[in-house]
């Protein structure tokens, strides 16, 4: 197991302070198959029986464990000495987890400091009162029971091995663990809304211990200060308009990001934002006043050595660059909540994305399932709202026909209450609940380009096209999954959609025919090709699982980037 710290970069680019400590690296570890660790005193134990490399899940080879069977509970432990001044009077210490699947309890020096349910989003605990001078012990227990179908599990397999479009599981910690020191009054969260029409940024801040303090905000373009404003905190929150003297738009392929410096009493933090206007005319994306055809790719965010976790920050960025090299302008971030660093790179590179949740494995016909889903969805909205790259939300994918419409309408209302500007898709591809979706989309893996083209031609005449599992005719304007062409030049043991093509050239021509059918249809406003990379046994990617291009990117780029009918 390497002694080098993995994933050393700051995990939260949207709110950065100087006083922080990365806790990735070697931790003590133990698998608790019987969920008896609490009864056996592991929370206060001197040590655990094994070791693991955090932030990689125990199923991954990078973790050093490479354990593929089910684990009902896993335990972690490490000792930390606080930097000088972190325990000083008037300071607080926060412990952050990028993500830990699924139900997480944390102890500091044997004292429980918090419990979090949800395996996909970031969370934190104020651990100040449990800390002592000198060395401190952090203990973490994570219970995971995806076979209960009461928790979101995404594409994690509920069988021993991977099968179909279900892959290796992720249990426990799978993103960076870190601490930071903050003053007694500090900024807890930000909601940043660009207002291009009025040349300002709206800042909504939630704070702790900050009643009566003044928050000062300064915006920069490069080294130029282009805006300053301040306001007082009332009841630990505030809303502030930050006027901007220069407006440079964030756009696809040409992103401009502003720096944002924030001061609240003794608290100092750095953030960023992008100025772009976003609206939906019917089901058409209007970005900065012009219609945009969404040329998206399905990105599942799996890695051969890290499973849910990329080996390095550079690999997160590289997947976006690989997609752009093929001609895609964005992605559906599929059945997984991607880490904040990935979204930051989307912002940097001008790459539009849809934010999703990992609803597969959750039986959304049963009210018991809501308990695990709704709170985490709100946490996702809060965490990721500020990213200019996100153009829409899609919490559910391919839901069953008996989906509870009350649940779906509640998701829609919750999402629009928090974010009224972005579009909402209730259940991508299959079952749409009347009145609960902004966009009518469909999934279609027809492999014959002529049949595929003919199926959608009625849309151009204003006629309806039936969608799978919908009881009434619909008019999809977004084919949010298509293709999935099965091709590998090294292995014929996996699977893809339709009959396996016999050559690379045949695959390219099928891709051309299917894609042309969508680009040529003036009633289609977006596409999403399945998929960016192979994932384990699913061999329908444009890249192999280890990220080797199957085709000349320039050829795919030329097919995909010609003008769409709706752009002419």
**Strand 294-299's sheet: what is its strand order?**
423-424, 390-394, 352-356, 330-333, 294-299, 526-530, 478-483, 441-444
Query: Does the global pTM surpass 0.85?
Result: yes
Q: If DSSP codes are grouped into helix, strand and coil, which group holds residue 199?
A: coil
140-162 average pLDDT score: 94
- Are the C-beta atoms of residues 51 and 31 closer than 8 Å to each other? no
- Are the C-beta atoms of residues 127 and 108 closer than 8 Å to each other? yes
Residue 361 pLDDT greater than 90, yes or no: no
- What Cα–Cα distance (Å) separates residue 519 from each residue in 163, 295, 297? 33, 9, 15
The three-point CA angle 370-470-448 to 5° equals: 120
Provide the Cα torsion 426, 431, 436, 437; round to 10°. Answer: 60
Task: State how far the Cα of 402 lies from the Cα of 404, in Å rounded to an integer.
Answer: 6
Strand partners, 71: none
Within 8 A by CB and 6+ apart from 31, the residues are 50, 58, 67, 71, 73, 74, 75
* Domains, the chain, ordered by start: 20-183 (2.60.120.260), 197-278 (2.60.40.10), 288-567 (3.20.20.80)
Report residue 372's pLDDT band, with 50, 70 and 90 as the boundaries: confident
247 burial via Cβ count (<10 Å: 0-12, 13-18, 19+): middle
51-61 average pLDDT score: 98
The single-letter DSSP state of residue 229 is: E
Tens digit of each residue's pLDDT (9 = 90 or more) over 115-138: 999 999 999 999 999 999 889 999
Task: State how far the Cα of 116 lies from the Cα of 111, in Å rounded to an integer.
Answer: 16
- What is the percent of the chain where pLDDT is above 90? 85
Question: Pick the residue with more confidence: 387 or 236?
Answer: 387
Q: What is the pLDDT of residue 546?
A: 97
Tens digit of each residue's pLDDT (9 = 90 or more) over 318-329: 999 999 999 999
Comparing C-alpha atoms, which of 296, 297, 295, 332 is closest to residue 532? 297
204 burial via Cβ count (<10 Å: 0-12, 13-18, 19+): middle
Task: State how far the Cα of 127 lies from the Cα of 106, in Å rounded to an integer.
Answer: 10
Task: State how far the Cα of 327 lies from the Cα of 307, in Å rounded to an integer.
Answer: 26
Report residue 472's pLDDT band, with 50, 70 and 90 as the boundaries: low
Can you say how many angstroms the Cα of residue 359 is from the centroid of all Cα atoms in its chain? Answer: 13
The single-letter DSSP state of residue 535 is: B
Task: State how far the Cα of 470 lies from the Cα of 278, in Å rounded to an integer.
Answer: 29
Q: What is the pLDDT of residue 432?
A: 85
Q: If DSSP codes are grouped into helix, strand and coil, which group holds residue 539?
A: coil
SS (H, E, C) 205-228: EEEECCCCCEEEEEEEECCEEEEE
Tens digit of each residue's pLDDT (9 = 90 or more) over 325-357: 999 999 999 999 999 999 999 999 999 999 999
Comparing C-alpha atoms, which of 522, 526, 528 is closest to residue 565? 522
261 burial via Cβ count (<10 Å: 0-12, 13-18, 19+): middle
The single-letter DSSP state of residue 422 is: S
DSSP symbols for 108-155: ETTEEEEEEE-SSS-EEEE-GGG--SSEEEEEEEEE--GGGSSS--TT
Tens digit of each residue's pLDDT (9 = 90 or more) over 222-243: 999 999 999 999 989 999 999 9
Comparing C-alpha atoms, which of 64, 77, 302, 279 is closest to residue 169? 302
């Amino acid at each position: 197991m390497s002694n080098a710290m993995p994933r050393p970069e700051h995990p939260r680019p949207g709110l950065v302070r100087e006083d922080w400590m990365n806790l990735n690296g070697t931790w003590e570890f133990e698998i608790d198959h019987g969920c008896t660790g609490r009864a056996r005193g592991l929370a206060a134990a001197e040590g655990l029986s094994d070791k693991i490399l955090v932030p990689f899940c125990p199923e991954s080879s990078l973790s050093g464990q490479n354990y593929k069977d089910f684990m009902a509970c896993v335990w972690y432990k490490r000792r930390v000495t606080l930097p000088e001044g972190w325990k000083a009077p008037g300071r607080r210490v926060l412990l952050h987890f990028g993500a830990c699947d699924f139900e997480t309890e944390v102890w500091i020096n044997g004292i429980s400091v918090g419990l979090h349910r949800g395996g996909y989003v970031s969370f934190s605990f104020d651990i100040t009162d449990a800390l002592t001078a000198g060395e401190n012990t952090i203990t973490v227990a994570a219970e995971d029971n995806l076979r209960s179908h009461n928790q979101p599990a995404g594409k994690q397999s509920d069988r021993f091995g991977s099968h179909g479009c279900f892959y290796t599981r992720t249990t426990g910690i799978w993103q960076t663990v870190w601490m930071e020191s903050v003053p007694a009054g500090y900024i807890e969260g930000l909601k940043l809304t660009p207002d291009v029409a009025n040349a300002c940024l709206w800042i909504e801040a939630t704070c702790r211990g900050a009643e009566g303090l003044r928050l000062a905000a300064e915006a920069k373009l490069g080294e130029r200060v282009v805006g300053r404003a301040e306001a007082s905190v009332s009841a630990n929150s505030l809303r502030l308009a930050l006027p901007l003297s220069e407006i440079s738009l964030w756009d696809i392929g040409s992103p401009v990001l502003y720096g944002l410096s924030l001061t609240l009493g003794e608290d100092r933090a750095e953030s960023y934002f992008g100025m772009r206007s976003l609206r939906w005319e019917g089901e058409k994306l209007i970005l900065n006043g012009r219609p945009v055809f969404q040329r998206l790719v399905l990105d599942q965010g799996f890695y051969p050595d890290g499973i849910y976790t990329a080996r390095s920050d550079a690999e997160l960025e590289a997947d976006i660059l690989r997609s752009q090299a093929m001609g895609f302008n964005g992605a559906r971030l599929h059945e997984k909540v991607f880490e904040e660093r990935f979204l930051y790179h989307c912002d940097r590179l001008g790459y539009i994305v849809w934010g999703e949740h990992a609803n597969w494995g959750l039986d959304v016909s049963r009210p018991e399932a809501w308990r695990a889903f709704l709170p985490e969805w709100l946490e996702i909205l809060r965490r990721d709202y500020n990213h200019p790259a996100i153009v829409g939300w899609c919490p559910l994918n391919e839901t069953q026909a008996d989906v509870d419409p009350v649940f779906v309408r509640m998701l829609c209302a919750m999402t629009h209450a928090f974010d009224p500007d972005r579009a909402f898709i209730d259940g991508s591809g299959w079952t749409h609940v009347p009145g609960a979706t902004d966009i009518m989309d469909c999934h279609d893996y027809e492999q014959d380009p002529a049949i595929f083209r003919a199926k959608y031609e009625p849309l151009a005449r204003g006629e309806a096209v039936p969608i799978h599992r919908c009881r009434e005719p619909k008019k999809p304007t977004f084919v949010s999954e298509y293709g999935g062409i099965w091709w590998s030049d090294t292995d014929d043991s996996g699977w893809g959609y339709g009959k396996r093509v016999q050559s690379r050239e045949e695959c390219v021509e099928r891709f051309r025919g299917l894609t042309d059918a969508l680009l040529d249809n003036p009633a289609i406003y977006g596409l999403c090709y399945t998929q960016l990379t192979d994932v384990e046994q699913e061999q329908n990617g444009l890249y192999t699982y280890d990220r080797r291009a199957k085709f000349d990117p320039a050829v795919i780029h030329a097919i995909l980037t010609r003008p769409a009918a709706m752009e002419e």
